[in-house]
Amino acid sequence: MFIGSSSYIIFGQENRTISQLNETATTSDLVNSKELEIGNASYQIRYQISGDNQMNEMWVQRDNITLAAEIRALSDGVLTIELPRDVIDSKKQSNMDDVYAVFIDGQLVPYDEIMNNTHARILSIEFGNGSEQIEITGTHIVPEFGPLAALVLAISIAGVIVITRIKKVKSLNDLFRPK
């Protein structure tokens, strides 16, 4: 049962967004999962791939905000994948949802967004026989070290400030010169 549907265009290709009344009917179809290791954290990415096709590996490309998957496509198929918002998301500056850029073997392709809530978005991506890699690019991806990195950075900066005050440092070389 659908509440409604809308379409939008990205790079000249149509992508459809469908809001559903019963989200559990869609998410229960995602029977497979891949463990995604990012820094010290582990995330389960749920998915379903049609036919005799297989998902071999999944990883994050932090430099271009991309979730990438290596697939083995023995026939045309569909990858339905749940994207937890705390792992990868796509937002406009106004914090409104934005479209993802989805690539199959380097080519921009359309996709259907079949579910969207505050915790996750589910995409349905059609691919052809022989496809090898699917990349989903958003605007934000999980931080590699999270809040711990900010704490370590703050402590490091505070330590440098304390040392410079105690040693009356005029230049960086003064830090390493014995008095």
77 and 112 share one domain: yes
The model's pLDDT over 10-28, given as tens digits with 9 standing for 90+, comes to: 444 444 444 333 344 456 6
Domain that holds residue 132: 2-141
The model's pLDDT over 75-133, given as tens digits with 9 standing for 90+, comes to: 999 999 999 998 999 999 898 999 999 999 999 999 999 999 999 999 999 999 999 99
136 and 149 share one domain: no
73 and 98 share one domain: yes
128 and 169 share one domain: no
Does pTM surpass 0.85? no
11 and 75 share one domain: yes
pLDDT > 90: what percent of the chain? 49
Q: What DSSP string describes 87-135?
A: TEE-B-TTS-B-PPEEEETTEEE--EEEEE-SSEEEEEEEE-TT--EEE
24 and 96 share one domain: yes
Q: What DSSP string describes 53-97?
A: -EEEEEEEEGGGTEEEEEEE-SS-EEEEEEEETTTEE-B-TTS-B
Average pLDDT over the chain reads 78
162 and 78 share one domain: no
127 and 159 share one domain: no
Q: Residue for token digits 């850029």?
A: 101
107 and 179 share one domain: no
137 and 149 share one domain: no
Q: How many domains does the chain have?
A: 2
Smallest CA-to-CA distance from 121 within 49, 20, 1, 41 is with 20
150 and 63 share one domain: no
30 and 14 share one domain: yes
Asked if 70 contacts 57 with a C-beta cutoff of 8 angstroms, the reply is: yes
